Structures are given as structure tokens and as C-alpha cells.
Structure 1
Amino acid sequence: MNTQEALEIPQQRTANEPQDFPEPAPLASHGPARIIAMVNQKGGVGKTTSSINLGAALAAYGRKMLLVDFDPQGALSVGLGLNPYELDISIYNLLMNPRLDPHEVIVETEFDNIDILPANIDLSAAEVQLVGEVAREQVLARALSKVADEYDVILIDCQPSLGLLTVNALTAAHGVVIPLETEFFALRGVALLVETIEKVQDRLNPSLEVDGILATMFDSRTLHSKEVMSRVTEAFGDKVFETVINRTVKFPDASVAAEPITSFAPKHAGSEAYRRLARELIARGGAP
């Protein structure tokens, strides 16, 4: 068996493993949206992958989704089939022009129930340009409030930074999901992130709450992954999602195909993991 095949072996359910989460009931109507920020200041921990695939899994359960690309690298936009270099208008314009209608920026994707607010490198200028604005931390919240009634969940894919853009996302959000690679150095940065979230709660958004910490890139064959997972659970208790996202080559394959894994490889263990995460999030009250 080669390495790639070994990585794709789904975890076997054991007698002690918790039971699955129930299939969510369909919604009678859409909106107002619960806004969730996908945040970690460390790059490469699976924020964009989780934003796309959790969004797609929620959409498959009938939730109307708006995915917000809030990273100047535009990876979320690329992952849903857009070319950031060809965008005439992006979320940058929405932030800079309060009179701009968000519907002029929102793009309907080819995937059912998923729209996107795309981004490109222009967004990198927003952090500097917003510094002198009044209520600069609330610019994104004002923009999203104009369309919140049309969606069930708005997922914000944040850049790997704790700068002004991420503070905007936290100020706009009702909840935070923290993707955490099961690796020691990734764990060390969570304390700083939690401190930032607490400052936003205290000064800007008292209703903000941590929906959960999502363990990503887990490799059950390594003692290191298991030790980090144990430390995370010990430190954060029931804030850690029971669903764990295993490392697999299917995720980059799906990214290259510009599809969520739930449509690229619907029967793969990675697809089921994100569907289970969607059910868990709904069961926890993190999504309608």
C-alpha cells in the first residue's frame, strides 16, 4: 500500500466513539443568517478547505449559504471556480463604497444554495485604507446586514492574520470556528487567537461566541497528532468538535477541480466528515 492510499483509509468507528448526529430537518423559510467567521492567524490549517466544504455540506442540507472570501489571496474564490484576476468588482469595492449594493458583488456559483462574495489582491489595500475610517471595525458588518435576511448561514473565510480585516469579520460574526491543524506549533497560536476573540467580545461584539475548534489534517497513524488532539481536548473541553477532519490527498484534488469534496468525491470519507460536521454544527445550535 502506498502513502497516498494509506492516508485515505477512513477511520473505523469503535464502540466508544460517539453516535452520529441526526439528519437536520428542512427549513420552512430562509434567513436571517447566522454569521460564522472561520479564523486562525496561522496559515495552512484548512480554513479555506473547511469554509468550502462545510458550506457545501450545509447547502446540501437545504441551508442557503453565502461564502465570503475575506483573504486577498482569493483562495475561496478559486476553490469555487472563479478567477480572481478577472473580477471587475469584489468585496474590496463593497468595503470601500458604503452605497454599493452587495447584490452587485455577490456571484451565484454553479453549486446549489451557494453564493459567494469574491476577493482578490485588491483586498490587501483595504486594511490600510480603513484605518482612518470612523467605526472601521464594523464596515463588513454593515455590508452583510443588507443581505443577511436572504441567507441561512454566512461563512467568512478569513486571512491568516489578526489584523483589521479579521477584526471586521469577528465584529460581524455571531460565532467563530477555529480550524486547528493537529500539530504542536499550530496549537501554540490558539491562545493568542482566543485572547483576540475575547477583546472583540469585550469591546466590539459582546454576542460573539466560539462555536468550536475543528481538528484538521489529523493523521491517526502518528503519535504526534494524537498527543496534540489530546492536549486540545484537555484545554478546550466540549468546545472541540467531535468531528475530526483527517488528512487526505482528495482535498487538494478537489481544490484543483474547483469543487467541494462533497461533489468531487461524494462517497469519500472526507465528504462524510464535512457532512457530519454540518450536522454537528446544526445540533450544537451553530447553524439553523
Structure 2
Amino acid sequence: MTEQAKICVSNQKGGVGKTTIAINVAGALNARGHDVLFVDLDPQGNATENLGMMEAYDEEPPSLFDCLTDPEQRAAIHEIVRPHEEMDVVPSNIDMTAAEPELTLARRSGEQLDLVLAELEDDYDYVIVDCPPNLGNLMDNALFATQNVLIPALAESTSKRAFELLFDHVDALELDYEIDIHERGVVVNRIDVRKNQAKEMVDWINRAFDDVPVWEIRERADVQKALDAGVSLLEFNPESDMCEVFLAIAEGLDAQFDTVEVEA
């Protein structure tokens, strides 16, 4: 891989399985032989808990909060990164609940994550950032730092409004910072094929996003069981049919970033 790829998994609508998608995509990229850094930017710390690192959520400084809000602490990111069997992890921390107001007061408030990740730019093939479920300074930091977005969504009508709000926000950020943020695909999550509305919404998403990949994840109990076990579905049950979809997402990202699968 010639250049580090950074992707944020983002949708300000809660309950779409954002963290589930982020962890499983990171696991699939690892399965394709890539070194992956997972950044839990959500103050709720769901990914941190799902990856078995809840003790890090309550640890004393330095934490990700300090790296983002104190320029002299950026290098402390090296102390914060934790190993996981499938990826390295920058855990969230309870102090992250104060990050939004702190970043509002900071100079270059939307660029702090980018400056922190620069400390690790030679260490990983992919950086996956799990965003909070709201529009704000942390979301801005994720979008600016990665300039690539993978969008999780549900197969229900409320997703249409969520897409509209997200794209309005992205457009404004692109204008403010004079950058281009690339949509790398949509992952329609927890599809119940028995429901007509779900089928109709999947069709609508495929038509609306005819210029980017759309992947479909069906409802499977093992997806949640894997998170409860602290790993991705590929590690928990490689025989699950949804593993093929997550691997297809990883392969699609490799194709977009012009990378190749490497021997794990």
C-alpha cells in the first residue's frame, strides 16, 4: 500500500449500527492482510466497550481527549494506542464528553484529529474512525482528517432525511475548508428481507447512490454475538454468510484506494 487510507464511518442518525459496521470493516481489512488502526471518536465509547477495552474508558489522562484539545499532548497518542487481535485501537474516554465545547474554543478546531493522526501516519495501512451520532466538532474533525466517508444506513424511510442532513453538512465543510470529501459507499445494515418497506428502501438507496457501491448486511444474531465477544464477525464466525459482504466491502475499499490484498 503506497499511502495510508483514512475513512470515517459516519451517519448522525443514531441506531443505524455505525459501530458494528466500523468494527467489522476494520476486521475485514485486517483479514485481507492490512495493518488497521481503529479510532473511537464517539464519547459514548461503544466501540471501546465492544472491543473489550472498557477499562480504558475510565482511565486517567492522557487520553484521546487530551491529544485533541492540548497541542502539547498530541504525541501522547502513542501511549494511548492499544493492541487488539485484529487491529490497534485508540479507545474513547469518559473525558471525551467535554470535547465538543473544548474544540469550539480551539484554533483550527476542525483539524485537531488530523494533526493527532499525523503522529501515526507511517504505522498503518488503514485508519477507520467511528464517529459520534451527531453533527458537531468531533464529526467535523473526522471528516476533515479522513476526507473519505462510509455511510451506514437502515432500510427504512427515515434514512432519506438522514442522508440529506449528512450531505448538507459535508457540503458546508467542503466549502469552509476547501477540501473534497469522497463517499466510499453505503452499507445498508440489519436488513429484514421479510419486510416490504425494507426491500423498497434498499431499491431506493441503490438508485440514489448509483455512482458509489452499496453493500447489504442482513439481520444476523451472530453479528451482535461477535461484538459481545469483543471481536468482528470474521473472527467470531468466519462461516457466516455476512462475512462475505464485509470482505467485499474491504475489497471494494482496496480497489478505490488502489491497494492490494497482502498475505496476513
Instruction: Establish whether TM, by shorter chain, passes 0.5.
Output: yes
Partner of 1:279: 251
Distance 1:221 1:215, change over 3 A: same
Determine if the alignment matches structure 1 residue 76 to structure 2 residue 51.
Answer: no
* Deviations 1:88-115 (CA, angstroms, capped at 9, x unpaired): 342112112222212011111133xx11
Asked whether the equivalents of residues 180 and 187 of structure 1 are also in contact (C-alpha less than 8 Å), the reply is: no
What are the Cα deviations for residues 16-53 of structure 1, in whole angstroms up to 9, with x where unaligned?
xxxxxxxxxxx5xxx64111011000111111011111
Residue 20 of structure 1 corresponds to none
Q: Match of 2:122?
A: 149
Q: Which residue identity lines up with residue 255 of structure 1 in the other structure?
A: L
Tell whether 2:226 aligns with 1:254. yes
Match of 2:30 in 1: 59
2:93 corresponds to: 120
Q: TM-score, normalised by structure 2?
A: 0.92
**2:16 is aligned with 1:45:** yes
Counterpart Cα distance in 2 of 1:219 and 1:184: 14
**Deviation at residue 80 of structure 1 after TM alignment:** 1.3
The one-letter code sitting in structure 2 at the alignment partner of 1:270 is M
Number of the residue aligned with 2:59: 87
Mean Cα displacement is larger for which, 90-99 or 154-163? 90-99
- Which residue identity is paired with 1:108? P
CA distance in structure 2 between the partners assigned to 1:32 and 1:79 by the alignment = 29
Indicate yes or no: 2:160 matched with 1:187. Answer: yes
Task: Give the superposition deviation at 1:287.
Answer: 6.0
Q: Is the 8 A contact 2:45 2:57 kept in 1?
A: no
Indicate if the aligned counterparts of 1:91 and 1:105 stay in contact, CA closer than 8 A. Answer: yes
1:273 Cα offset (Å): 1.6
Residue 174 (str. 1) matches residue 144 (str. 2): no
Q: CA deviation at 1:68?
A: 0.4
2:216 is aligned, of 240, 244, 247, to 244
CA distance in 1 between partners of 2:48 and 2:259 (Å): 23
Amino acid at match of 2:131: C
What letter corresponds to residue 275 of structure 1 in structure 2?
Answer: L
Q: How many Å apart are 1:279 and its aligned residue?
A: 1.1
Residue number in structure 1 paired with 2:81: 106
TM-score calculated relative to the size of structure 1: 0.84
Q: Give the counterpart letter for 1:73 in structure 2.
A: Q
The structure 2 residue matched to 1:202, chosen from 149, 155, 175, is: 175
Higher helix content, 1 or 2: 2
Q: State the secondary structure of the residue aligned to 1:220.
A: coil
- Structure 2 unpaired stretches of 5+: none
- Three-state SS of the structure 2 residue aligned to 1:71 is coil
How many residues matched?
Answer: 256
Alignment partners' CA distance in 1, 2:256 and 2:105: 39
> Quick one: structure 1 residues 96 and 252, their matched pair in 2 at CA, closer, same or farther if it must change by over 3 Å?
same
Distance across 1 between alignment mates of 2:238 and 2:131: 26
Counterpart of 2:49 in structure 1: which amino acid? V
Q: Closer, same or farther in 2 for the Cα pair 1:266/1:147, shift >3 Å? A: same
Moved more, 71-80 or 88-97: 88-97
d(CA) in 1 for partners of 2:64, 2:57: 13
Aligned to 2:167, what secondary structure does the other structure show? helix
Counterpart Cα distance in 1 of 2:258 and 2:221? 29
Q: What secondary structure is seen at the aligned counterpart in 2 of 1:162?
A: coil
Q: What is the CA distance between 1:205 and its match in structure 2?
A: 5.0
Maintained 8 Å contact 1:218/1:245? yes
Task: Please report how far the alpha carbon of residue 286 of structure 1 lies from its aligned counterpart in structure 2 after TM superposition.
Answer: 7.3
Provide the rounded CA distance (Å) in 2 between the counterparts of 1:162 and 1:32: 28
Q: Distance in 2 between matches of 1:212 and 1:286?
A: 15
Distance 1:287 1:96, change over 3 A: farther
In structure 1, the gaps of 5 or more residues are 1-26
Q: Which residue of 2 aligns with 1:24?
A: none
Check the 8 A contact 1:211/1:286 in 2, yes or no: no
Amino acid at match of 2:70: N
